[in-house]
Structure 1
Amino acid sequence: MKISKMFIFALTLAIAGLGAAYSASAQVVALGASNTEGHGVGSSEAFPAQLERMLQAKGSSTHVSNAGVFGDTTSGMLSRLSSSVPEGTKIVILQFGGNDFRQGISPAARQANIASIQQQLRARGIKTIQADGFVKAALQSGLAQSDHIHLTAAGHQRVASQLMGSIR
């Protein structure tokens, strides 16, 4: 079977166009600790995965990457910021959680870490969305696992639904 040079050229252009379309779609990273990771419900039920499915159901090609790490602190998030938030990221959902308090990190150190994370993302032109309030509200409304710290799948769904309006 002989393939014409024109066909190969057209195919190459089509593939390049698909790559450009993918990179032009918004890239979202959810940066946080165990609730971001999906502790107790699994990553497929965590709010980043649920948010991605909700966006795709609305016709968006947005990919939401889960950069949640169980037990992480704001200093840990700061130290892995560059590796967790790749070039091309448009939005970072920040969910700092309460591990700093549980590990005895001072409020001043926590605030300095948060300010540094936000400053670095701003310098890269990346929009940030705070999710801690959504998580706290879901936990307070009874959408918590038996440990009263981690969200149920329904809690993650609620957080994802609340984040939907902020993703453009």
Structure 2
Amino acid sequence: MIGSVIKGLLRLASLRYGARGAGLNRLAGLFFVIFAAFGAPTLAAPVTVLALGDSLTQGYGLPPEDGLVPQLGRWLAAHGTEAELINAGVSGDTTAGGRARVEWSLTPEVGAVIVALGGNDLLRGLAPEEARANLDAILTTVGARGLPVLLVGLKAPGNYGAAYQADFDAIWPDLAAKHGALLLPDLLAPIAALPPETRAAEGLMQGDNIHPSAKGVAMVVEALGPKVQELVAKAAP
């Protein structure tokens, strides 16, 4: 369109000013060539974000469009952030499983990574030091690619004892500081902050009381979205 406008102005100059217009035409034509070569704006491609996680990321028990990743994608678009999200959530995956597949999950187009693992380690009562070692290895692998990362944690329940809870909860801030990662300490915090009767009345959890409903995921995304915006901003050229 810009080229058409310039050509129209050049023709008008020739008709109105004759030979002088022809000179202007040639000069403007030179500017047009320069503009075409250097002045056309280049639109950056959206950042591709890999979401490496478990069933909470994968969208267990929900229609595909209501899972965490699709809802997050819509939230980002509505808030002016262009990103392509890859759903690398695997139901039942532990931090060890994430560690085993992170290398081949980092395909060339990936520009940033969300790491949201640990829930199944908690459910199985696996040792905090094992989860820490696995997450540390995942972040090291991502860091070696020069990619920014958002580490997303979960709060440990108290049924394994205070020491276990404290050791597990310390993993997220410790590793985020070590690797210079962005941090969301507790993915489910917006839901957990509500009394159980409120969660039930509003239908925020699925029947297993482990996975959020579509409405619960929407609450989670409201807290997660701004952190992912920061992540995308760090990855943008």
Same fold by TM (over 0.5)?
yes
1:78–1:151: structure 2 CA closer, same or farther, 3 Å change rule? Answer: same
Give, in whole Å, the separation in 2 of the partners of 1:153 and 1:104.
Answer: 27
2:134 alignment partner AA: N
Work out which of the residue numbers 108, 119, 127 in structure 2 matches 1:87. 108
Q: Do 1:138 and 1:144's aligned partners in 2 also have CA atoms closer than 8 Å?
A: no
Decide whether aligned partners of structure 1 residues 86 and 110 sit closer, same or farther in structure 2, where only a CA change above 3 A counts. Answer: same
Unpaired stretches in structure 2, ≥5 consecutive residues: 1-41, 154-184
Counterpart of 2:133 in structure 1: which amino acid?
Answer: A
- The code of the aligned residue for 1:148 comes to N
Query: Match for 1:110: what amino acid?
Result: A
Aligned length in residues = 149
Match of 1:71 among 71, 82, 92: 92
Q: Confirm or deny: 8 A CA contact 1:46 1:153 kept in the other structure.
A: yes
Matched, 1:146 2:207: yes
Deviation of 1:27 after TM superposition, in Å, equals: 0.7
Matched-pair contact (CA < 8 Å) for 2:190–2:223: no
Which gives a bigger RCO, structure 1 or 2 (Cα 8 Å, sep 6+)? 1
1:163 and 2:224 matched: yes
* TM-superposition CA deviations, 1:8-27 (whole Å, max 9, x none): xxxxxxxxxxxx957x3211
Please give the root-mean-square deviation of Cα atoms over the aligned residues, in Å: 2.2
Distance in 2 (alpha carbons) for counterparts of 1:130 and 1:138: 17
Change (3 A) 1:32 1:59: same
1: distance between equivalents of 2:210 and 2:150? Answer: 21
* % same residue: 34
Q: Are the counterparts in 2 of residues 138 and 158 from structure 1 also a CA contact under 8 Å? A: yes
Are the aligned partners of 2:118 and 2:131 in contact in 1 as well (CA < 8 Å)?
A: no
Q: After TM superposition, list the pairs within 5 Å mapping 1:18-29 onto structure 2.
A: 24-29=45-50
2:187 is matched with which residue: 135, 151, 160?
Answer: 135
Q: Which has the larger radius of gyration?
A: 2
CA contact (8 A) 1:36 1:47 kept: yes
Q: Which of the numbers 50, 59, 73 marks the counterpart of 1:52?
A: 73
Structure number with higher helix proportion: 2
Q: Which amino acid aligns with 2:95?
A: T
Unaligned runs of 5+ in 1: 1-19
Moved more, 110-119 or 40-49: 40-49
Call closer, same or farther: CA 1:101–1:165 in 2, change over 3 Å: closer
**How far apart, CA to CA, are the structure 2 residues paired with 1:100 and 1:115?**
15
